[in-house]
């Protein structure tokens, strides 16, 4: 059934009226008026804790947002996703990344196919293969154990594995060095090949479609580089593939016995749980990879069963929606106060923006509200010394998600204390700000003359009242990382349902791909064709002149 437009719903109208009342709310006053605010506006699930009290909202706002979630059918759509219905309506596909982390024996079939049995059969192969490589039983063609793994993939076939391998570096195998090549820019491949020895290197060609231009070019380059020093028969010990496309793998020259399959109901940006996570399982071992899946499953269960008012992904989504829609926030900053999560913002960029960066509804009608904000960020405390200036005193309101582990994976306690102090201080500073009067008092106490106080005070004033969430975990482990990623996956899903966009297609990436193919041919062609606008023609001409 066709969804009514978002702005025509009763719950949206109620929120609009409420937003006018809330326009002048100051978080300082909200905290002062309610000593229980932190307890009231925080929740827990799957070993994660979410504090969303430092947002410009109150209990009534949440009631209205929960009503919106109900009116938009969040619970029904969630259940449809878990049940394997074809909710990706422009590609006519089910969306079942949750099935990839369901324990053995979970009942789910799609088109009569036992999905759980298929998933666990592939996991069994991942275990056997990764155990063999890690133990040294799997040998290169000259009889040496593997020392280097090069994952060749892009987008979801790169960002997830790379982010997770980095985040779980404390769990990694000491012999195996992990490399990730994604960019068609030859510098990326060059940097990796310069560090590895063909006799001891395993290449994983990771591509759902096995047609992605960058990955195919990188894979061919790696193959030629390898074959420069080895016979064709050696490929089978050094090249494996992860894909849904068996025919293309065979055509590339990889033995189907060395292929780890997955399925079209796994979106690229939701695929780290599938065999696309092969590099993760190689790095940390199948046991920890299973813990990673189990952590995500725990979040799935929380999302599936917790009431809206206590449901962490739904709350995160609704608060984000409130900030985007009624506070006009154009972007969200992801600030992991954990260096090992340094690639997490980049991972979320694809997850969120490729999912919800849409301008038409599932029925193809123009949306009538803004959709996905831009997502960006860097680990704290580095961001503090770069762009936090804009977040504190810039003209736009830019909500922040702070993410931290309470216990570190190292023994330098004083570093960790300083890190957490910064994390908590920043969220306090964004909330409280510093008023003109407070600044004046400070400057008076420093003994500055009145004229100097008045000159400096506006520069030193912080408006505050800037929203943030804080997500805490005891430690960054395979399980808590799995839960954290699943939290954001489901947050993205819920926002997609509110906006009524299809969060599982990505047609917006197609046009550039097609034009790049054309221009690639033109760059190689002679003489210079003039087929474009003057800017594009001019750029092509300059590139050709430089050859």
String of contacts with ligand F6P for each residue 340-379, x by CB under 6 A = --------------x-------------------------
| CB nearer ligand F6P, residue 50 or residue 266 | 266
Catalytic (active site) residue 392:
no
Catalytic (active site) residue 385:
yes
- Tell me if 207 contacts ligand F6P by CB under 6 A: yes
Helix crossing, 213-227 with 186-193: angle to 10°?
A: 30
Quick check: 150 and 222 in contact, CB under 8 A? yes
Catalytic (active site) residue 44:
no
User: Tokens standing for 365?
Assistant: 């009608």
Chain-centre distance for alpha carbon 419: 23
d(CA 388, CA 382): 9
String of contacts with ligand F6P for each residue 75-104, x by CB under 6 A = ------------------------------
Instruction: Give, as ranges, the residues between 264 and 293 that touch ligand F6P (CB under 6 A).
Output: 268-269
| Helix runs in 285-367, H state only | 286-305, 312-325, 344-348, 355-356
Exposed, middle or buried, 52 (CB in 10 Å: 0-12/13-18/19+)? buried
Residues 6+ apart with CB under 8 A from 294: 101, 103, 479, 482
The residue from 77, 97, 179, 208 that contacts ligand F6P (CB under 6 A) is 208
The residue from 108, 154, 163, 298 that contacts ligand F6P (CB under 6 A) is 154
Catalytic residue among 13, 144, 415, 513: 513
- Tell me if 209 contacts ligand F6P by CB under 6 A: yes
d(CA 376, CA 336): 11
Catalytic residue among 47, 199, 214, 354: 354
- Tell me if 509 contacts ligand F6P by CB under 6 A: yes
Of 38-46, 151-159, 229-237, 295-303, which part binds ligand F6P (CB under 6 A)?
151-159
CA torsion sign, 206 to 208 to 210 to 212? negative
The residue from 212, 290, 384, 502 that contacts ligand F6P (CB under 6 A) is 212
Instruction: List the Cα angle 329/334/340 in 5-degree steps.
Output: 175
Provide the minimum distance between the beta carbon of 241 and ligand F6P in the complex, in angstroms, as a whole number.
Answer: 11
Catalytic residue among 170, 385, 415, 518: 385
Quick check: 281 and 289 in contact, CB under 8 A? yes
- Tell me if 461 contacts ligand F6P by CB under 6 A: no
- Tell me if 53 contacts ligand F6P by CB under 6 A: no
Quick check: 316 and 52 in contact, CB under 8 A? yes
The beta-strand segments (E) located in 257-313 are: 259-261
Coil, helix or strand for 177? strand
Provide the minimum distance between the beta carbon of 162 and ligand F6P in the complex, in angstroms, as a whole number.
Answer: 12
User: Tokens standing for 384?
Assistant: 């503090």
Q: What are phi and psi for residue 387, nearest 5 degrees?
A: -105, 0
| CB nearer ligand F6P, residue 355 or residue 468 | 355
Quick check: 348 and 316 in contact, CB under 8 A? no
Of 118-126, 203-211, 283-291, 471-479, which part binds ligand F6P (CB under 6 A)?
203-211
The DSSP symbol for 434 reads B
d(CA 369, CA 392): 26
Count of positions on this chain that bind ligand F6P (CB under 6 A): 14
| CB nearer ligand F6P, residue 154 or residue 189 | 154
- Tell me if 182 contacts ligand F6P by CB under 6 A: no
| CB nearer ligand F6P, residue 180 or residue 322 | 180
Provide the minimum distance between the beta carbon of 349 and ligand F6P in the complex, in angstroms, as a whole number.
Answer: 12
- Tell me if 157 contacts ligand F6P by CB under 6 A: yes
The residue from 155, 377, 399, 408 that contacts ligand F6P (CB under 6 A) is 155
Query: How many helices (H) and strands (E) are present in the chain, helices listed first?
Result: 23, 13
Q: Which residues are catalytic?
A: 354, 385, 513
| Contact residues for ligand F6P, defined by CB under 6 A | 154-157, 207-209, 212, 215, 268-269, 354, 506, 509
């Amino acid at each position: 059934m066709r969804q009514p437009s978002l702005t025509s719903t009763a719950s949206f109208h109620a929120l609009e009226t409420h937003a006018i009342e809330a326009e002048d709310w100051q978080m300082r006053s909200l905290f002062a008026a309610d000593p229980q605010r932190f307890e009231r506006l925080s929740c827990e699930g799957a070993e994660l804790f979410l504090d969303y009290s430092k947002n410009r909202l109150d209990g009534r706002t949440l009631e209205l947002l929960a009503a919106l979630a109900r009116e938009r059918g969040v619970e029904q759509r969630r259940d449809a996703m878990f049940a394997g219905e074809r909710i990706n309506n422009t590609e006519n596909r089910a969306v079942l990344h949750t099935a990839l982390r369901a324990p053995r024996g979970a009942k789910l079939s799609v088109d009569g196919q036992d999905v759980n049995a298929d998933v666990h059969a592939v996991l069994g192969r991942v275990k056997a293969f990764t155990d063999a490589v890690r133990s040294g039983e799997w040998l290169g063609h000259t009889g040496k154990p593997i020392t280097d793994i090069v994952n060749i993939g892009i987008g979801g076939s790169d960002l997830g594995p790379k982010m997770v391998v980095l985040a779980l570096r404390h769990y990694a195998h000491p012999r195996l060095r992990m490399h990730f090549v994604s960019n068609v820019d030859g510098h990326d491949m060059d940097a990796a090949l310069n560090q590895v020895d063909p006799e001891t290197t395993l290449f994983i060609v990771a591509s759902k479609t096995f047609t992605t231009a960058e990955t195919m070019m990188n894979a061919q380059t790696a193959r030629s580089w390898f074959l420069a020093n080895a016979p064709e028969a050696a490929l089978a010990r050094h090249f494996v593939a992860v894909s849904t496309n068996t025919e293309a793998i065979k055509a590339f020259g990889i033995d189907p016995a060395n292929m780890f399959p997955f399925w079209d109901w796994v979106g690229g940006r939701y695929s780290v749980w599938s065999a696309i996570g092969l590099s993760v399982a190689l790095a940390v071992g199948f046991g920890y990879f299973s813990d990673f899946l189990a952590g995500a499953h725990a979040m799935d269960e929380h999302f599936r069963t917790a009431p809206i008012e206590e449901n962490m992904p739904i709350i995160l989504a609704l608060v984000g929606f409130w900030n985007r829609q009624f506070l006009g926030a154009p972007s969200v900053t992801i600030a992991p106060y954990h260096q090992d999560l340094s690639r997490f913002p980049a991972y979320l960029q694809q997850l969120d923006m490729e999912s919800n960066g849409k301008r038409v509804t599932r029925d193809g009608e123009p949306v009538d509200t803004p959709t996905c904000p831009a997502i960006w960020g860097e680990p704290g405390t580095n961001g503090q010394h770069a762009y936090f200036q804009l977040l504190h005193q810039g003209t736009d309101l830019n909500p922040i998600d702070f993410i931290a582990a309470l216990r570190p994976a190292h023994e330098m306690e004083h570093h960790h204390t300083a890190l957490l102090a910064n994390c908590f201080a920043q969220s306090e500073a964004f909330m409280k700000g510093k008023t003109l009067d407070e600044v004046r008092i400070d400057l008076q106490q420093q003994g500055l003359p009145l004229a100097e106080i008045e000159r400096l005070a506006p520069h030193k004033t912080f408006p505050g009242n800037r929203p943030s969430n804080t997500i805490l975990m005891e430690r960054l482990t395979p399980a808590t990382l799995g839960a954290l990623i699943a939290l954001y996956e489901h947050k993205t899903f819920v926002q997609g349902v509110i906006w009524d966009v299809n969060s599982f297609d990505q047609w917006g990436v197609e046009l550039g791909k097609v034009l790049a193919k054309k221009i690639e041919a033109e760059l190689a062609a002679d003489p210079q064709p003039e087929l474009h606008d003057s800017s594009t023609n001019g750029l092509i001409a300059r590139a050709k002149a430089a050859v």
